[in-house]
Amino acid sequence: MDSAALTRATIDPRVLVAGTTIRFLLLLVLLLISIVSMASFLIGNGIFGTWENGWGCLLAAGADPNSGDLLSVASDPTQNAAYVACVARFASSPPWWLVPAWLLLVVLAAAILFCVLPAWRGRRGRVVPLDLLDSGVELDRELSMLVETAGLARSPRFVVAPAAATTSAVVYGRFRRHTVCLHGGLVARRSTDPGGFRAVVLHELAHIRNGDVGLTYATVALWRVFFVGVLVPYTWGMVRIVLSPSNFWTGGLPVVVRGVALATVMVVLVYLARADVLRNREIYADLDALGWGADIQRWRRMATPHAARSRLASFTELWHSHPRWHLRHASLLDPAPLFGMRAFPMFLTGVIAALVEYQTVLVPSLVSSRLTVVLVIAGIAAGIVGTSAWRGASYSLLVSGSHPSGARAGLWLGTGFVAGELVTNATTMNTWLPRQPETLLLPVIASVVLTWWATECAHLWSLAWRGRGARLIVLAGVAALWLVFAAALSWWDAWGYIFADGWPYPASATRQSLDQMFPGPDGGHSVTVSAIAALGMSLESLVSRPLGLPGWASTVMWSYPFLAYLAASATKRQRWLDRLAGGEDRWPRQEAPPARPVVVTGVIGGVLGCAGAGLVMVYLHPGRPALSQSLRYELIFQAWALVVLVGVATATAAVMVLRVQAFRLVAAMTAAHLALLIGFAGAAVLVALDGCLGPMNILGRRCHALPENGWLFVSSLLPLALVLTTITTSVVALTRVGVRNRKFTRPLGASRGPKRIRVSIMVILVVIAAGITAAVEPPLAGRVSADGSETSTGGLMPAPGTASGRPSSPKILALQVYWWGRYGGLQSLRDVNDALGRFTTAYQEATDGPEAGIVKRDNFRPACSGLQRATQGART
């Protein structure tokens, strides 16, 4: 082996978290959620035959299946009551306990199968115990020594499969009760190839020590029961709908097709995801066996016939739980496959996350806890992406000293998420594609940015962290990524589908609401008001999620790398990287970048932002209205201040992107947000002194400080400004990818700066920003007027949306009339007709009978009451 191979072979992949267990966890979550959602569909629509009734109620209420939105019950929102009443009468839900009971039965069946599988594999006649062999005593002694070498607290049971001629072995069993089955060919060659025998046995013992056996068999058992007990009935239910003789389901053909496709994708997805995780586990077991003294010649001999690589071989490998021998041998020399953010696992993670997120919507009991579901999905995805980012960053530092971007892995992650969305009915409803398909680019772009950010943060913290172990700082990085993922996924869960289906808030309706909430003259800034009306709801969506997730995520995206800059010092050693490399002098030492260039650029940008806010006040001063008509003008000032402060922060990010070569995204993110915070602080002071600034006054008429106005200005605009700055900085950084400008580009480490930075001041700045994010009020809130009274402005909310008004086809109209009549319409007509008959009879008695001309209330009261009840029933 060459020196480079020797250096890479010393890397210990266990210094960092492996990340395979959490991928198993994501797979289990997918199976459990799929059990609940598919069982809910079968119980609510398939088994009890209420699918047709549900469609009939939709049509009876006035819904058009070809409108693209099955959730829009009818063109008139008042018809929703009629739909609910129809469902309650003709398509009522089965008992609530059926879905939990189904889930419990599936889990119990999986537990039973989990216990039965090892017994079945080790059944009598297939394997024999060691004491029945001639060399059983000697073999048992050698195996006991290998168990001691592996460091197992409890020895597994060893058996032999005489009929198996291969030189291999397999381990099976339950937690803490394992069996290692040695194939007959392996036992026969023990005397001629003792090194190969030891390598095979140590490899299987490594699986036991790593906990692979229990997880593998639990997943297998749950999958088999899920396939037989849920997936097959679900597919049958969807096919039953397709073959239904009813003539109204064709409007939902895309829904049914994707339902069948979902079952197919589930089969392929679970198989591929499980095989991918198991391949990684195999390589870990190989490395453990080699570390315990196994002979590498075993892997070298097996790899020789399979050394050739091809695209076909790479594709077929995806379907196998064991990697090719060529890859296994290469991984012992260089464990690169265990590090980094590989494309295929990222793609699978994206698909699974989309399927889990969608299927929770189909479970009524989980709809009310959407935030919890989003947090769980984001946490698992962050664990997978975060650990991969850390492993890739540390490996690149040790081997080549390069700076991986992680953008390519993010592209695969986002593509997987979009693929999962297209398999489901989340963004498409009952159309083949979303009405705004370009919206699907947003998850892809967001995934690229987030994985890029996670990788650069991992690389930066790898250079800054001085402890002997890295688990604590890796956990902190995963937690930070968790919050960022949760913010992005919660926005998509609440607003992404709305954008994909077509923005339902027209600018005219928003302008009307704006005029009502913010009366007064615009001072010649009608274009600004129109822009606010056009963009107001879109911007409102960025900060409308619960718990202030977007603002917190933006704060984390700049403060987490900023703390790494502050912690970095080139005079100390990265002891945990020395452990990972197997020695202090085995990797190309690098210095962490200084914080001074980032801080100086951010401070300069902040000063310019403050000056820009002052110029806005000078610009708006001439057209200021009377104090009693100041609401709209205050809104105009907030809009211009937001544009200027975010614009200056974006320009600061552009300067950092042009200035540095490494860590472009996190350097730009940190400098831009520092500039934004400093600019907001200066602007808040100016707002508080409004009335004392002469030509800069906007609303103030007398000079006295009002700190409340400054705080309300910050608390109402800062959350939105943080999110916008994060977005614009990401766009600037993305546009810089692949563009080289040597005139402006300089390594971040080229400027050494002072030896000491006032870390305490910077940490206080981060804490203050986090506190403001936690205490903020809704955007565009009111402020205290110059006379001390508070003016409330509220949020920009649109007028209630209306239906498109697009006429239905004659066939749909006929079906609507048919089902309206079948589900209560004809009965309502009969009731009204009977009530009219009774009223007519009472009228004739009062005009034509022997008592003509005498009106008796007792005769009309029942007839009128009956007519009122009949007409009221017809309305609902």
- What domains appear along the chain, each with residue ranges and CATH number? 123-207 (3.30.2010.10), 594-791 (no CATH), 814-875 (no CATH)
**pLDDT tens per residue, range 253-294:** 777 788 888 888 989 999 999 999 999 999 999 999 998 988
Average pLDDT of the segment spanning 79-96: 68
Count of other CB atoms within 10 angstroms of residue 572? 10
- Contact present, 585 and 704 (Cβ < 8 Å): no
Q: Which of 61-65, 504-508, 634-638 has the largest mean confidence?
A: 634-638
What type of residue is 339? F
Cα 725 from Cα 643, distance rounded (Å): 10
- Contact present, 801 and 505 (Cβ < 8 Å): yes
Range in 112-126, 330-344, 843-857 with the lowest mean pLDDT: 843-857
Cα 462 from Cα 10, distance rounded (Å): 18
Cα 638 from Cα 512, distance rounded (Å): 19
Closest listed residue to residue 255, CA positions, set 498, 43, 70 = 70
Which is it for the CA torsion 684, 690, 693, 694, positive or negative? positive
Which residues fall within 8 angstroms of residue 822, CB to CB, at 6 or more apart?
Answer: 56, 60
**pLDDT tens per residue, range 617-635:** 999 888 777 776 777 888 8
Distances (CA, A) of 786 to 90, 689, 690, 708, 712: 62, 10, 8, 11, 14
In the block, residue with structure tokens 């009598």: 124
Could you tell me how far CA 182 lies from the centroid of its own chain? 44
Torsion-angle region of residue 502: left (phi > 0), alpha (psi -120 to 50) or beta?
Answer: left
Strands (E) in 168-297, as ranges, are 169-174, 177-183
What percentage of the chain exceeds 70 in pLDDT? 75
- End-to-end CA distance of the chain, in Å? 82
Cα 69 from Cα 339, distance rounded (Å): 44
* pLDDT score for 618: 92
Cα 610 from Cα 617, distance rounded (Å): 11
Range in 1-10, 94-103, 383-392, 716-725 with the lowest mean pLDDT: 1-10
**pLDDT tens per residue, range 826-852:** 777 777 777 777 777 777 766 665 555
Could you tell me how far CA 474 lies from the centroid of its own chain? 20
Cα 286 from Cα 296, distance rounded (Å): 9
Tokens representing 164?
């198996």
- Contact present, 436 and 498 (Cβ < 8 Å): no
Closest listed residue to residue 405, CA positions, set 589, 653, 666 = 666
Cα 379 from Cα 535, distance rounded (Å): 32
Average pLDDT of the segment spanning 813-822: 73
* C-alpha radius of gyration, the chain, whole number: 34
Which residues fall within 8 angstroms of residue 740, CB to CB, at 6 or more apart?
Answer: none
Residue 258 sits at the vertex; the CA angle it makes with 256 and 260, to the nearest 5 degrees, is 75
Which is it for the CA torsion 112, 113, 118, 119, positive or negative? positive
Tokens representing 445?
């772009």
Average pLDDT of the segment spanning 474-500: 91
Closest listed residue to residue 560, CA positions, set 430, 642, 409, 457 = 457
Closest listed residue to residue 477, CA positions, set 382, 374, 339 = 382
Average pLDDT of the segment spanning 535-557: 84
* pLDDT score for 80: 64
How much is the mean pLDDT over the chain?
A: 79
Neighbour-count burial of 440, counting CB atoms closer than 10 A to its CB (0-12 exposed, 13-18 middle, 19+ buried): buried
Range in 29-38, 369-378, 669-678, 845-854 with the lowest mean pLDDT: 845-854
Cα 376 from Cα 436, distance rounded (Å): 28
Which pLDDT band holds residue 589 (cuts at 50, 70, 90)? low
Phi, psi of 735 (to 5 degrees): -70, -20
Phi, psi of 690 (to 5 degrees): -60, 125
* pLDDT score for 205: 95
In the block, residue with structure tokens 């992406």: 385
* pLDDT score for 741: 41
Count of other CB atoms within 10 angstroms of residue 183? 20
Whether the per-residue pLDDT at 551 is higher than 80: the answer is yes
Tokens representing 515?
């005029």
Closest listed residue to residue 657, CA positions, set 639, 669, 640 = 669
Closest listed residue to residue 350, CA positions, set 320, 394, 388 = 388
Which pLDDT band holds residue 15 (cuts at 50, 70, 90)? low
The 10 Å CB-count burial string (b at 16+, else e) for 587-625 is beebebbbbebbbebbebbbebbbebbbebbeebeeebb
Cα 147 from Cα 153, distance rounded (Å): 9
Residue 24 sits at the vertex; the CA angle it makes with 364 and 492, to the nearest 5 degrees, is 45
Average pLDDT of the segment spanning 439-453: 95
Range in 81-90, 95-104, 594-603, 825-834 with the lowest mean pLDDT: 81-90
Cα 559 from Cα 557, distance rounded (Å): 6
- Greatest CA span in the chain, whole angstroms? 123
Whether the per-residue pLDDT at 452 is higher than 70: the answer is yes
Tokens representing 559?
């403060």
Torsion-angle region of residue 92: left (phi > 0), alpha (psi -120 to 50) or beta?
Answer: beta
What type of residue is 286? D
**pLDDT tens per residue, range 174-224:** 877 899 999 999 998 888 899 999 999 999 999 999 989 988 899 899 999
What percentage of the chain exceeds 90 in pLDDT? 30
What is the H or E stretch that residue 158 is in? strand 157-161
Closest listed residue to residue 453, CA positions, set 349, 347, 382 = 382
* pLDDT score for 524: 78
**pLDDT tens per residue, range 285-304:** 999 999 898 888 888 888 76
- Contact present, 876 and 85 (Cβ < 8 Å): yes
| DSSP letter for each residue of 356-422 | HHHHGGG-HHHHTTHHHHHHHHHHHHHHHHHHHHHHHHHHHHHHT------HHHHHHHHHHHHHHHH
Whether the per-residue pLDDT at 24 is higher than 70: the answer is yes
What are 170's strand-pairing partners?
Answer: 181
* pLDDT score for 247: 47
Whether the per-residue pLDDT at 788 is higher than 60: the answer is no
Cα 379 from Cα 373, distance rounded (Å): 10
Q: Which of 431-435, 819-823, 839-843, 853-857 has the largest mean confidence?
A: 431-435
* pLDDT score for 807: 57
Closest listed residue to residue 331, CA positions, set 372, 284, 371, 289 = 284
Which residues fall within 8 angstroms of residue 425, CB to CB, at 6 or more apart?
Answer: 254, 255, 258, 259, 358
* pLDDT score for 733: 93
Tokens representing 228?
């037989």
**pLDDT tens per residue, range 125-179:** 688 888 777 777 889 899 999 999 999 988 999 999 988 888 899 999 887 789 9
Closest listed residue to residue 700, CA positions, set 640, 642, 626, 645 = 626
Whether the per-residue pLDDT at 306 is higher than 60: the answer is no
Tokens representing 3?
């020196």
Higher pLDDT, 783 or 263: 263
Tokens representing 34?
């799929």
Closest listed residue to residue 641, CA positions, set 663, 671, 611, 667 = 611
Tokens representing 624?
């200021």
Whether the per-residue pLDDT at 103 is higher than 50: the answer is yes
Cα 609 from Cα 410, distance rounded (Å): 33
Average pLDDT of the segment spanning 558-576: 75
Higher pLDDT, 13 or 322: 322
Higher pLDDT, 801 or 618: 618
* pLDDT score for 574: 64
Tokens representing 803?
């239906």
* pLDDT score for 512: 78
* pLDDT score for 572: 58
* pLDDT score for 672: 97
Count of other CB atoms within 10 angstroms of residue 21? 16
Closest listed residue to residue 624, CA positions, set 533, 531, 684, 695 = 695
* pLDDT score for 644: 96
In the block, residue with structure tokens 């229990």: 214
Range in 372-376, 703-707, 842-846 with the lowest mean pLDDT: 842-846
**Three-state SS at 324:** coil
